């Protein structure tokens, strides 16, 4: 979205902070009419916005962070008549700072640069739309789900590292199954190789079987085959008897918490108008749909290429005279969205058209990861058209089935 500078008499730059922001207001001619710290408080924010618009006219409020600590000023500004909201991406803001004299890093300087950039370079700004309740709730839940996943990964790696230290063969047997409640329950009950041996196959099998009946027999055999491969007791095994149950319990709790969050995410995704459109594409499940709703829907992408660049799956072209030419993997983009699109493409390999495209890329000499990214890029073109037109996914050469227009 391009902002028309003639529509605004004032440009208010906000360098947001946890407890206090800094606000700088510039007129269309560049005159500074306000430059003060501002508490992160609804009453004070509303007073400032209403006072400045009442005195000078319509204003554009620009923030450098629209979520988390910037959510309150954005919400207040949206509720004040005569104000529009814009977002200046952090990387753009830092590049603009390099163009201004001085190297100091202060809130006042940052707020001025934000306002001055908006006044002179509106093309650098991004629009902020009013989030509907479903998407706002999804964003909070998806963020918490990311936090839970990070904690699970850390705890799982710590547990695998500890098992590798005291019994490498046992770690190889149970390591790939540490996302299973039954395996975690068995490790929490018998946390050392000696205790597992003493418990015996029957008890271990029954413990795992309570939660993972299909897995119990195979994993139990793998565990006891591993136990037979090592007879010495490694130093530190006694301490492991204390730590392993704690880590196993943490992982069980985190797994249950994540399942509870997923149930809420699923309910919100299913209630969204774009649910059928998104999940009609093979490889897109609840979590991927939630990520697309929070990161893509509502933003203005002129082409599928713009969306691919935002997601970080479009190649970066490098050219400098005759010495450097070619396209390289994009290291930027939205990391969460990129990961979701990559995993979605990988999950779609069971789908014949997706598999055929992947196999073709492998035959061209691409490695597995490159082929998956290429598939994700191709799928994103289709997804962009689906969201734009509100149409369900159709296999290539199949007739197009339309929904009513759903794209936001």
User: What digits encode the pLDDT tens for the residues 157-167?
Assistant: 999 999 999 99
By three-state DSSP, how is residue 47 classified?
Answer: helix
Does position 400 have pLDDT exceeding 50, yes or no?
no
**In the chain, how long is the greatest CA-to-CA distance?**
83
Lowest mean pLDDT among 79-88, 318-327, 349-358: 318-327
CA angle 238, 244, 249 (to 5 degrees): 145
In the structure encoding, which two tokens stand for residue 346, read together? 């990988």
Does position 175 have pLDDT exceeding 50, yes or no?
yes
Report whether 407 contacts 278 (CB < 8 A). Answer: no
pLDDT at residue 183, as a whole number: 96
List for the chain the helix, strand, coil content (%; round to 5): 60, 10, 30
Which of 310, 320, 364, 369 minimizes the C-alpha distance to 345? Answer: 369
CA 204/CA 217 separation, integer angstroms? 10
pLDDT at residue 239, as a whole number: 93
Q: For residue range 6-65, what is the model confidence (pLDDT) as tens digits?
A: 889 999 999 998 889 999 999 999 999 999 999 999 999 999 999 999 999 999 999 988
Report whether 81 contacts 57 (CB < 8 A). Answer: no
Residues 6+ apart with CB under 8 A from 7: 58, 60, 84
Report whether 183 contacts 204 (CB < 8 A). Answer: no
pLDDT at residue 6, as a whole number: 85
Q: Please tell me which residue, 323 or 57, carries the higher pLDDT value.
A: 57
Q: What are the chain's domains?
A: 5-127 (3.30.420.10), 137-268 (1.10.287), 275-319+326-389 (no CATH)
Residue matched to tokens 């890329």? 361
What does the buried/exposed string (b/e) look like for 159-181 if buried means 16 or more CB atoms within 10 Å of the residue's CB? bbebbeebbebbbebbbebbebb
pLDDT at residue 104, as a whole number: 77
CA 59/CA 83 separation, integer angstroms? 5
Q: How confident is the model at residue 333 (pLDDT cuts 50, 70, 90)?
A: confident
Residue matched to tokens 């990559």? 342
pLDDT at residue 377, as a whole number: 94
Percentage of the chain exceeding pLDDT 70: 91
Does position 320 have pLDDT exceeding 60, yes or no?
no
Does position 95 have pLDDT exceeding 70, yes or no?
yes
Report whether 59 contacts 83 (CB < 8 A). Answer: yes
Report whether 39 contacts 23 (CB < 8 A). Answer: no
pLDDT at residue 399, as a whole number: 46
CA 331/CA 280 separation, integer angstroms? 29
Q: How confident is the model at residue 243 (pLDDT cuts 50, 70, 90)?
A: very high
**What is the mean pLDDT of the segment spanning 370-380?**
94
Lowest mean pLDDT among 41-45, 62-66, 232-236, 248-252: 62-66
HSE at residue 192, side-chain half, CA atoms within 13 A, is 17
pLDDT at residue 2, as a whole number: 61
Lowest mean pLDDT among 63-72, 127-136, 347-356: 127-136
In the structure encoding, which two tokens stand for residue 345, read together? 């493409």
Does position 325 have pLDDT exceeding 90, yes or no?
no
Q: How confident is the model at residue 322 (pLDDT cuts 50, 70, 90)?
A: low
Phi, psi dihedral angles at 235 (to 5 degrees): -60, 135
Please, what is the average pLDDT of the chain? 88
Q: Please tell me which residue, 249 or 398, carries the higher pLDDT value.
A: 249
Q: Which residues pair with 337 in a beta bridge?
A: none
């Amino acid at each position: 979205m391009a902002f028309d500078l003639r529509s605004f008499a004032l440009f208010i730059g906000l360098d947001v902070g946890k407890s206090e922001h800094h606000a700088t207001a510039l007129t269309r001619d560049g005159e500074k009419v306000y430059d003060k710290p501002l508490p992160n408080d609804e009453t004070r924010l509303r007073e400032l916005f209403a006072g400045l618009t009442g005195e000078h006219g319509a204003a554009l409020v620009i923030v450098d962070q629209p979520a988390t600590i910037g959510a309150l000023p954005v919400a207040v500004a949206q509720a004040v008549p005569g104000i529009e909201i814009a977002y200046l991406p952090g990387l753009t803001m830092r590049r603009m700072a390099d163009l201004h004299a001085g190297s100091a890093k202060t809130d006042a300087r940052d707020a001025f640069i934000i306002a001055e950039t908006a006044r002179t370079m509106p093309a650098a700004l991004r629009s902020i739309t009013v989030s509907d309740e479903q998407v706002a709730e999804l964003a909070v839940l998806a963020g918490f789900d990311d936090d839970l996943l990070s904690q699970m990964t850390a705890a799982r790696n710590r547990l695998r590292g500890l098992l590798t230290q005291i019994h490498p063969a046992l770690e190889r047997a149970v390591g790939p199954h540490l996302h299973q409640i039954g395996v975690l329950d068995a490790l929490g009950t018998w946390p050392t190789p000696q205790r597992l041996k003493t418990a015996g196959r029957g008890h271990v099998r029954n413990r795992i079987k309570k939660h993972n009946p299909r897995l119990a027999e195979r994993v139990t055999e793998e565990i006891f085959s591993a136990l037979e491969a090592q007879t010495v007791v490694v130093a530190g095994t006694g301490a492991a008897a204390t730590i392993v149950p704690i880590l196993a319990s943490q992982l069980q709790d985190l797994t249950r918490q994540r399942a509870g969050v997923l149930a809420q995410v699923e309910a919100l995704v299913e209630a969204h108008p774009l649910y059928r459109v998104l999940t009609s594409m093979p490889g897109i499940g609840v979590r991927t749909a939630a990520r697309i709703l929070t990161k893509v829907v509502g933003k203005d992408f002129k082409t599928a290429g713009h969306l691919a660049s935002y997601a970080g799956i479009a190649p970066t072209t490098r050219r400098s005279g005759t010495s450097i030419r070619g396209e390289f993997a994009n290291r930027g983009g939205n990391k969460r969205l990129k990961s979701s699109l990559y995993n979605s493409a990988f999950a779609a390999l069971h789908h014949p058209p997706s598999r055929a495209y992947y196999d073709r890329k492998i035959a061209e000499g691409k490695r597995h990861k490159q082929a998956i990214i290429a598939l994700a890029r191709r799928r994103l073109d289709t997804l962009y058209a689906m969201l734009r037109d509100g149409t369900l996914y159709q296999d290539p050469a199949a007739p197009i089935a339309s929904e009513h227009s759903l794209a936001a």
